[in-house]
Amino acid sequence: MNDNDKAPLLWHRPQQLSVNGAIMTTIGIFGAAGRMGRAIAQVAADAGLGIAGGTDRDGSGEIAPGIAITTDPLELAQRSDVLIDFSVPGALSVHLDACIAANKPILIGTTGLEAVHHALIDEASAMIPILQTGNTSLGVNLLAALVEQAAAGLGDDWDIEIVEMHHRHKVDAPSGTALLLGEAAARGRGITLADHSERGRDGITGARAQGAIGFAALRGGSVAGDHQVIFAAEGERIEIGHRAENRNIFARGAVKGAQWLIGQSVGRYDMKGVLGL
Ligand SMILES: NC(=O)c1ccc[n+]([C@@H]2O[C@H](COP(=O)([O-])OP(=O)(O)OC[C@H]3O[C@@H](n4cnc5c(N)ncnc54)[C@H](OP(=O)(O)O)[C@@H]3O)[C@@H](O)[C@H]2O)c1
């Protein structure tokens, strides 16, 4: 076997749009008219990347001057090197089908995903590269690494509570980031989050279960995303957190992740590989 035989097969060849002789990556955005879709288009344009186009529920308006928003995910996937999805969980299956048919990688930032969506992503990641993350920011992914380390070092007599606050328009709770942090804590403790999460306490709830990971969600105003992880023991507390001051941190991470994904082979990824964590 020579070195070429050992090299992973590049699963797909970027479209290699050439502008003034330079190769340009083109990004397609699902959910293009949304808050994140618009921020991503701006960041991509500022970074000198090409925007193939975007889709939205009703397909009206433009994502950038002269680039219309449509409703056809397959046609968009065929024209893009990589797709970024910040839309709604209900559209995930159609977006995955389009990327599989066009043989293109996809970064999924949409939150509120349930077990059925994760199963779809697992299935699709046998055919195309997929990066799925509840948060694309460097700071939050570093926080998750710290949370995992702290949870591994502290016993389950340290109660873990995750508190998040977001703007008044957010429709899912707990946030994808709170769940990402909860998963990190569970990994550190060697337990499964699904079996140990405590959500939405109200009324006579009984005492806190030892080893539980609790979640609380606050909503209001224009908060881009605050997260705090509290480790509470008898007589002392450790609190670590992250505050997003605007959406651009997520948009920058999404664009960086999408560019990284183009070079990857078939499989399922998160932000750790992109950020070298
Ligand atoms: N991973 C991260 O780092 C991160 C960061 C921020 C936000 N998010 C998540 O990203 C998602 C979008 O957030 P946002 O604040 O941008 O929300 P948003 O402003 O509501 O944008 C979502 C967009 O998706 C569109 N949409 C609905 N159905 C669609 C379909 N079938 N096909 C294509 N587009 C469709 C919506 O159109 P209509 O308005 O017409 O329904 C809307 O324009 C949310 O799940 C949010 O929690 C993730």
Residue 5 has pLDDT above 80, yes or no: no
Tokens of 271: 């932000």
- Ligand 1 atom at minimal distance to the Cα of residue 253: 3
What ranges do the domains of the chain cover?
3-132+248-275, 138-244
**Mode of pairing for the β-strands spanning 67-70 and 50-55:** parallel
Ligand 1 pocket: which residues have CB below 6 Å? 30-31, 33-37, 55-58, 86-88, 91, 109-112, 133-136, 176, 250
Contacts with 263 (C-beta within 8 Å, 6 or more apart), sequence order: 10
Q: What is the pLDDT of residue 13?
A: 43
Mapped onto helix, strand or coil, the DSSP state of residue 270 is: coil
Can you say whether the dihedral through the CA atoms of 40, 52, 172, 210 is positive or negative? negative
Mapped onto helix, strand or coil, the DSSP state of residue 60 is: coil
For 3-132+248-275, CATH gives 3.40.50.720
Residue 261 has pLDDT above 80, yes or no: yes
Superfamily of domain 138-244: Dihydrodipicolinate Reductase; domain 2 (3.30.360.10)
Lowest model confidence (mean pLDDT) among 4-18, 37-51, 113-127, 262-276: 4-18
List the residue whose alpha carbon is closest to atom 25 of ligand 1: 31
Contacts with 234 (C-beta within 8 Å, 6 or more apart), sequence order: 157
Q: What is the pLDDT of residue 275?
A: 85
Nearest to 34, CA basis, from 74, 72, 87, 73: 87
Whole-prediction pTM value?
0.86
Active site residues: 166, 170
Q: What is the pLDDT of residue 197?
A: 97
- Ligand 1 atom at minimal distance to the Cα of residue 224: 6
Decide if 55 contacts 76 (C-beta within 8 A): yes
Residue 7 has pLDDT above 50, yes or no: no
